[in-house]
């Protein structure tokens, strides 16, 4: 059986939603970061990075959100969670890679500035920059990348739960999502989806 390791408040929410949307049979395993579950030997055997998400499949273990999302889409083709056209699929991958490589780190400089510096003053400087960096990233998403009504246009895809997940961090980063009307509309419509409601309820429990 597919097994997803996740923790509350992390980007693993995107993979969890995608699995629920796909109709696949899976088990979701919650890690408690406050208790250091991600650093315990039994989990490090699954993911030596000590992070989530991690997905156990019948072929092995997949880590990193864009890779997991692509795997879900390609192994559950009837769910149609990714474009079939190679160029369009590459565009979806480009969007998810942007979230992973640029937007997520921009956010992470607030709660995890110690990853980048041991200097308390430098950490505070990084934290202070987060609202600007997140605003600039979401301005680009709002104006250039979000085709509407879903990220890739008319069809819902693996890009949508990922954008939804990171959009949910804006408030804690000191950014008003209402500044981005199209992103805000996307976030609200995601909240109306049955799969999203089901997974969010689990993550809040």
Domain shared by 51 and 67, yes or no: yes
> What's phi and psi for 62, nearest 5 deg?
-115, 135
CA–CA distance from 189 to each of 73, 103, 143, 195 (Å)? 21, 21, 19, 12
| Mean of pLDDT values over 122-150 | 98
Question: What is the DSSP secondary-structure string of 31-54?
Answer: --GGGTGGGSHHHHTT-TT--S-E
pTM, two decimal places: 0.97
- Ramachandran region of residue 12, left (φ > 0), alpha (ψ -120 to 50) or beta? alpha
Query: Residue 27: beta bridge partners?
Result: 3
Domain shared by 110 and 62, yes or no: no
User: How, if at all, do strands 2-6 and 26-30 pair?
Assistant: parallel
Assign residue 131 the CATH number of its domain.
Answer: 1.20.1050.10
Q: How confident is the model at residue 76 (pLDDT cuts 50, 70, 90)?
A: very high
Domain shared by 157 and 176, yes or no: yes
Domain shared by 53 and 95, yes or no: no
Domain shared by 163 and 103, yes or no: yes
Domain shared by 75 and 91, yes or no: no
For residue 11, the SS3 value is coil
Q: What is the mean pLDDT of the chain?
A: 97
Predicted confidence at residue 13, as pLDDT, reads 98
Domain shared by 39 and 15, yes or no: yes
- Judge contact between 167 and 177, C-beta under 8 A: yes
Structural domain harbouring 181: 86-193
Domain count, the chain: 2
SS3 sequence, 119-132?
CHHHHHHHHHHHHH
Domain shared by 100 and 176, yes or no: yes
């Amino acid at each position: 059986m597919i097994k997803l390791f996740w923790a509350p408040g992390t980007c693993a929410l995107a993979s969890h939603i995608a699995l629920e949307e796909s109709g696949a049979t899976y088990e979701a395993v919650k890690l408690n970061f406050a208790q250091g579950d991600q650093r315990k030997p039994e989990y490090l055997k699954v993911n030596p990075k000590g992070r989530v998400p991690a997905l156990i499949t019948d072929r092995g273990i997949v880590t990193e959100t864009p890779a997991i999302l692509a795997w879900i889409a390609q192994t559950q083709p009837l769910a149609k969670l990714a474009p079939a056209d190679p160029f369009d699929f590459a565009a979806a991958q480009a969007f998810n890679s942007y979230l992973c490589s640029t937007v997520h780190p921009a956010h992470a400089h607030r709660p995890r500035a110690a990853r980048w510096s041991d200097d308390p003053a430098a950490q505070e400087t990084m934290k202070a920059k987060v609202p600007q960096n997140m605003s600039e990233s979401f301005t680009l998403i709002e104006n250039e990348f979000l085709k509407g009504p879903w990220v890739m246009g008319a069809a819902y895809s693996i890009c949508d739960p990922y954008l939804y997940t990171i959009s949910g961090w804006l408030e804690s980063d000191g950014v008003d999502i209402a500044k981005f009307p199209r992103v805000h509309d996307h976030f609200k419509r995601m909240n109306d989806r049955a799969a999203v409601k089901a997974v969010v309820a689990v993550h809040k429990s």
